[in-house]
Amino acid sequence: MYVRQTCCFTGHRNIPSNEQAAIQKRLEAEIEKLILQGVAFFACGGALGFDTMAALAVLKLRQEFSHIQLLLVLPYRSQARGWNKKDRRIYNQTLNKADKVIYTSEFYYNGCTHKRNRHLVDQSEVCVCYLKELKGGTAYTVDYAKQKGLRIINLSLNKD
């Protein structure tokens, strides 16, 4: 994986249903722009919400741009335990279609998602996010990406 050609994603787990279609459309358009700018690796954290939307968008665009790769950077192996059946099915399909899967920890521990988020940022040059709240894991990850000098693309419809 080459940092110069890598984009990571971070975003909230809950996306208002009235925003989902617009966010998905903007997400696919941004990914396509990045592909045309030379980005080939797209790293997702595998969480519910925006992470899942991003992974599915990359898989969709991989049908047209066969050289791009979906990298799943997961905080621990049993991340989807406790999810509902539909979300687990989508997660497992995404896992099976990923070009590479990296687990930053074997087991859950307090802080393992921060470790995953830092790994995503440390291996990227661009961060596409869905950030509406200035607290929580997404805000932490975007702040870290800013500190590391990544280009930030926020797809939130209500940006301040």
pLDDT at 102 exceeding the cut of 90: yes
Residue 130 is part of a domain; what is its CATH number?
3.40.50.450
Is 111 among the domain residues? Answer: yes
What burial class does residue 123 get, using C-beta atoms within 10 Å of its C-beta: 0-12 exposed, 13-18 middle, 19+ buried? Answer: middle
Structural domain boundaries enclosing 109: 3-154
CA–CA separation, 12 and 131 (whole Å): 7
* Contact between 7 and 44 (Cβ < 8 Å): no
pLDDT in tens, 50-100: 999 999 999 999 999 999 999 999 999 999 999 999 999 999 999 999 999
Is 160 among the domain residues? Answer: no
Is 159 among the domain residues? Answer: no
What burial class does residue 69 get, using C-beta atoms within 10 Å of its C-beta: 0-12 exposed, 13-18 middle, 19+ buried? Answer: middle
Predicted TM-score (pTM) of this structure: 0.94
Is 122 among the domain residues? Answer: yes
Can you give the pLDDT at residue 104?
Answer: 97
Total number of residues shown for the chain: 160
Residue with tokens 């990045």: 34
